[in-house]
Amino acid sequence: MIVGRNGETYDLTYAKRAMLVVVILPLLVMYTEAMLTPALPTIQREFAINPNDVSWILTIYLLVGTVSVALFGKLGDMYGKKKMFLIALAFYTTGVSLNGFAPSFQWLLVTRAVQGFGMAIFPLAFALVREEFPPEMVPQVQGMISAMFAVGMVIALPLGAWVTQNWGWRWTYHSAAPFAVLMFLLAWKVLRESRYINPGKVDWIGAVLLTVAVVPALVAVTRAPNVGWTAKETLALFAVALFGTVLLVVWERKVENPIIPLGIITAKNPAIVNIGITFAAFGISMMSQANTYIFQMKPPFGFGKTILQSGILMTPMALVMLIVAPIAGKIMPKVGAKPVALTGALTAAVGLGILSKYAPQLPPTHLWAFVGLITTVGTGITLMNISLINVLVFSVPPRVMGVATGANSLFRNFGSTWGPAIAGTIMSTYYILFHPPAAPPWVKIKIPTTKAYEVLFGTSAAIFLLLALLILAIREVMKGGRIHEVENGGEKDVVVEPA
C-alpha cells in the first residue's frame, strides 16, 4: 500500500493483478478482430453476397462501437466504471459467441452489432488504469496495453488464415469465444469498482444526437470509394451528419449533464490529444493499406507473399513494439511525455518519408529493407500513442475520466475509418490494368502504381510531421519523477515513489 501526495492510497498487490486483466484485454480483442480479415472472402462465398455487402461485417461493428464508447464512458462515470466495463464485455462476449452460429448474413450483422457495443471496454479500461493504479504505474501499464495491440494482430492474421483454411471461418469465432468468457470471469473476479462516481441523469437526447452526427458520416466515408465522393447518397449522408453535429453542440452546451462535456474535450491538452489520435489513426490505416498490397501483390508489383507469410514478416515490428512500449512507459515520468511523443512522431515521419521515396523500388528483392522501415514507423507510432494517452488521462479530473477516454476512442475510430477510404480512393486513382497469366484474355485487375504508394506514404509522413507540431503545444504532465496533473487550467503535483 502506498500513499500519494494528495492523500489517496493505492493497493500495489491489487494493481498488479488488475494490470494482468487490462493488458490481456487488447490481445483478446485484436486476436478476435484480426482473425476475421482473412475469412471475409470465405464468408462472401458462403452467403452469396457481393464485396460491398461483406464490408458491412466490419462497418456495423465500427458504427455501433463508435457510439457505444462515448455512451458507456459517460455511464461509467455515473454508475461505476467496473460495472459498465463488465456490461460492455458481456456484450462483446455474447457477440463473439453467437457470430460463429449465424445462419444467415443478416443474423451475422446483428451479432456483430451486439459485439460492437463491447468496443467500450477500452476507454473504460483506460479510465480504470488511471483511477486505480499508482501514478508511477500508469505510463507503464498504458505502454503494455499499446504493445499488446500489435502483438494480437500479428498473432491473429496468420492464425486466422490457417483456421479459415483448415476449419472454416466459423471457427475463428468458436476458438475466440472461450477466451472471451474467461476474460469476463477474470475481470469480474479481479477488478474493483472505481472510487469516483459522478451521479446524474442520462443525457438520452444527447446520445440520439451523437448517433445522428456519427453514424451517417461513417457510412458515407465507408461507401464513398465505391459509390463516389460526390454521389448524391454520399453528400446526403454528410449533410445529415453535419446537421446532427450542429444540433449536438447546441444541445450539449445547455444541458445540465451532457453525454459529451464540451468543456472537457475542448480543453487544451485533451483537444490536442484527440486531434492527434484522429490523424495518427488515419495515417496508420493508410500505411497499413499500402503495406498489405506491397506484401501480397505478385512481383514486380509486390513481394508476392501469402497472408500467413505477411503476418510472419510483421513479427519483427510487433517484437520491437513489445520491447519499446514498456521501456517508454518506464522512462516517461523522468523525461516527460512531450519529448517521447515528439520523438515518436518524428521517427514515424522520417520512416514514412523514406518509404514514400523508396518503397515502390523495393519489391521484389529488398524485402528486409521494407520490413525494417515499417518496423521503424511502428516504433515511432508506439511512442507517440503511449505518450498521448498518458497526456489525456493526466489532463482531466478522475470523475470524468470515462467520458474523456470514450470521446478519445470516438475520435480514434473516425481516423481509422477515413484512412482505408482515402487509401482505397488513391489506389483507384493511380493504377494500371494487369492481365493475370492464367486468366481469360478479358480478365484484367487494377494494380496500384508506384505513384499510389508515393502518395499514400507521403501523405502519412506529412500527417506525422503535423502531429509533431501539435505536440509542441501540449502542456507537460510529467517530468523529473513528478506527475503534473493538469485539470481545467489548474495543476497539482504527485510525487512518483518507487513501487
Which set of grid coordinates corresponds to residue 249? 453542440
Alpha carbons 102 and 89: distance in angstroms, whole number: 20
Q: Is residue 220 part of a domain?
A: no
Q: Which residues contact 458 (CB under 8 A, 6 or more apart)?
A: 352, 353, 356
pLDDT in tens, 441-489: 666 666 777 788 888 889 889 999 999 999 999 988 877 767 665 554 4
Q: Is residue 226 part of a domain?
A: no
Alpha carbons 19 and 435: distance in angstroms, whole number: 53
Amino acid at 210: L
| DSSP H or E stretch at residue 10 | strand 9-10
Alpha carbons 441 and 142: distance in angstroms, whole number: 54
Domain count, the chain: 1
pLDDT score, position 90: 95
pLDDT score, position 306: 76
Residue with cell 453535429: 245
Which set of grid coordinates corresponds to residue 216? 451517417
**345 contacts 464 by C-beta, under 8 angstroms:** yes
Q: Is residue 22 part of a domain?
A: yes
Alpha carbons 301 and 287: distance in angstroms, whole number: 17
Alpha carbons 429 and 17: distance in angstroms, whole number: 51
Please spell the DSSP secondary structure of 88-140, one letter per residue. HHHHHHHHHHHHTT-SSHHHHHHHHHHHHHGGGHHHHHHHHHHHHS-GGGHHH
What is the β-pairing status of strands 478-479 and 482-487? antiparallel
Q: Is 240 exposed, middle or buried (0-12, 13-18, 19+ CB in 10 A)?
A: middle
Question: What CATH code is carried by the domain that includes residue 311?
Answer: 1.20.1250.20
Helices (H), 359-449: 367-393, 401-429
Alpha carbons 332 and 136: distance in angstroms, whole number: 9
Residues β-bridged to residue 484 = 493
pLDDT, one tens digit for every residue, the chain (499 residues): 554 445 567 677 887 788 888 888 888 887 887 777 667 767 877 887 766 677 788 778 888 888 888 888 888 888 888 899 999 999 999 999 999 999 998 999 999 999 999 988 888 887 787 777 777 777 777 777 777 776 776 677 677 767 777 788 888 889 889 989 999 999 999 888 877 777 778 788 888 998 898 889 888 887 887 788 889 989 999 999 999 999 999 998 888 878 888 887 888 888 999 898 888 888 887 777 777 778 877 777 778 887 677 777 877 887 887 788 888 888 888 888 899 999 999 999 999 999 888 766 666 678 888 889 989 998 998 899 888 888 888 888 777 777 787 788 888 888 877 877 787 778 778 777 766 666 666 666 667 777 888 888 898 899 999 999 999 999 888 777 676 655 544 444 444 444 4
In order of 47, 137, 446, the CA distances from 126 in angstroms are 38, 13, 42
| DSSP state for residue 481 in the 8-state scheme | T
Helix (H, G, I), strand (E, B) or coil at 431: strand
Alpha carbons 347 and 376: distance in angstroms, whole number: 7
Q: Which residues contact 131 (CB under 8 A, 6 or more apart)?
A: 81, 194, 195, 196, 398, 401
pLDDT in tens, 329-339: 888 888 888 99
Question: By C-alpha distance, which of 147, 140, 111 is closest to 27?
Answer: 147
Question: What pTM value is reported for the model?
Answer: 0.78
Alpha carbons 55 and 384: distance in angstroms, whole number: 30
Give the domain extent around 270.
Answer: 2-202+257-495
Q: Report the interhelical angle of 56-79 vs 12-36 (nearest 10°).
A: 160
Q: Report the interhelical angle of 367-393 vs 401-429 (nearest 10°).
A: 150
Amino acid at 103: P
Q: Is residue 214 part of a domain?
A: no
Q: Is residue 216 part of a domain?
A: no
